[in-house]
Each structure stands twice: as structure tokens, then as C-alpha cells.
Amino acid sequence: MWRAIVARLVQGHRTIKYPRKPAPPLSDRFRGRPILADLSCPSGCQACIEACPVGAIRQDPRLMVDLGRCLFCLDCALACPRGAIAHSAEYRLSARAREDLVAPMAEDGALKAAALERRMRGLFGRSLKLRQVSAGGCNACEADVNVLGTIGWDLGRFGIQMVASPRHADGLLITGPVTRNMELALRKTYDAVPEPKLVIVVGSCAVAGGPFIGHAEANDGAGNLLPVDLYIPGCPPHPLTILDGLLRLLGRLPRGA
């Protein structure tokens, strides 16, 4: 008992101070928003477009990337003969509308989801209960959602908690591409959440189907079945990306963050 108390005193306060202070440094291996680092890249080159396994890159007429589809792999960067594509350290990638996730690769900026309207912020801004639904996910996104409940992140300090029953929830947090076997379960879970309710999708699978896009046994994400209030892309998204999206939705981040 005393050893445990002494250990806690020695360790001190271990929860990150974000968002009161800047975000903690990310690993050198972190892959944020893919960008076109060399603007002189010839428009006729299709190497990155052909290399993308999910069709996330297109020419229109500028080189565009669909962050909702993007797996944040290195295939496009490795395929580029000029080495013009790189991953930035930008972790702020959430959006309220699906089309907002499609952005020019020549830009390296944050995607900052707009907050809920005033009435909904009044209901959920200080207390948000979510039922997490893994709709056929590989457990990568689920693992990073779970990280937010650890002592280092302490999601509960923002009034955001995961609950066991949809009847006790204010909304759903969905991961996975929504396989056919999970479609009915997801619909029933959504129907069990009392109105008004929110739907938050986390990860490229839940946003657009991930590597299972077009598969006969998947629904290409939750947006084809339910109204979505927040999209958080990534494969999987970093816990900081998820936290940033949730706090933006609730209007809990300082102005200019």
C-alpha cells in the first residue's frame, strides 16, 4: 500500500496538459496529412495515383487526396519518382462533412471540424456519453480509442465517457467498414440511442470502407447507413487526432487552436 502511494508521488501528474498547453511531441514515425512537398511535380505523372491501393489520389486538375479513403501508407510516396510526396506532422484532420476530407495535396494545413450548433453544445458540451461500436474493424482504431481512457489522456476529464448500453448514450462512435453481418446490429444500436443523438466515425474503414472499399460484404463506411456528425480519418487515427476531433465538435478548444 505504502509503496504504491510513494510510487504515485514520485511519478507525479502523468496526464498530458493538452489542450491547455500545446500538443505533446509526436514520434518521428507518425504519419500525418500526406502532402506534395515538390510543387514542380509534372501533372502528367500518374505514379502516385496508380500506386494508391484505395484510389484516394486523383488529378482534378490539381493533385487531390481524399483523406477519408487514405490509409496513410507509404505507397504513393515510394512510387513517386521525384520523391515529391511526404507525410506531414499535421494531426488535426477531423471534418463535419464528408466532402471536406478531400483536399489539395499541395496544401499542408489542418482540417478543423466546426463545432455543433449552440443548442447541441448546450446538451453535450460538458457531458457526452458514447457507445462504441466495432462494425467489423481490425481493432487498430478500437485500440487507439481505448488509449484515450488511460491515465496519460484521461478522456473523462472533458466529460466524455464510453458507456456499455446505447440506451445510456448520447451517440455512437463507430469503427470498422460496417460489414454485412454488423449492419443490422449497428442499425438496432443506433435506434436504441435516445434523441437527439450524434454519430462519430473513426478511421478510414468507418469513413469510406478502408481497404475494403467496394467489397460485396462491406458498406463502405457508416455514412451510407446513418447520418454522420463527425469524420475522423486515419488508419488508425492517432489518439491525438481523435481527441482533437471530439473537442472541436463540442467547442472545447481555445480559439485559434
- Are 135 and 220 found together in one domain? yes
Mean pLDDT of the chain: 92
* Overall number of domains in the chain: 2
Whether residue 200 contacts residue 173, with contact meaning beta carbons closer than 8 Å, is answered with yes
- Are 228 and 126 found together in one domain? yes
- Are 77 and 132 found together in one domain? no
Average pLDDT, stretch 108-118? 93
Q: What is the pLDDT of residues 179-235, one digit of tens each?
A: 999 999 999 999 999 999 999 999 999 999 999 999 999 999 999 999 999 999 999
Q: Please say if the pLDDT value at position 40 is more than 80.
A: no
**Could you tell me the pLDDT band of residue 14, with boundaries at 50, 70 and 90?**
confident
- Are 134 and 238 found together in one domain? yes
Q: What is the pLDDT of residues 120-167, one digit of tens each?
A: 999 999 999 999 999 999 999 999 999 999 999 999 999 999 999 999
Joined grid coordinates for residue 42:
509534372
Higher pLDDT: 185 or 11? It is 185
Average pLDDT, stretch 98-123? 92
Prediction pTM value: 0.92
Average pLDDT, stretch 60-79? 92
Q: Where are the alpha helices (DSSP H) in 53-138?
A: 75-79, 118-124
- Are 129 and 210 found together in one domain? yes
Q: Which domain holds residue 215?
A: 118-249
- Amino acid letter, 211: P
Q: Please say if the pLDDT value at position 43 is more than 70.
A: no
Residue 17 maps to a domain? no
Cβ-in-10-Å burial (0-12, 13-18, 19+) of 12 comes to exposed
Q: Please say if the pLDDT value at position 255 is more than 80.
A: no
Average pLDDT, stretch 238-255? 94
Q: Please say if the pLDDT value at position 42 is more than 90.
A: no
**What CATH number should be reported for the domain holding residue 176?**
3.40.50.12280
- The residue with cell 475522423 is 232
Beta bridge partners of 87: 34
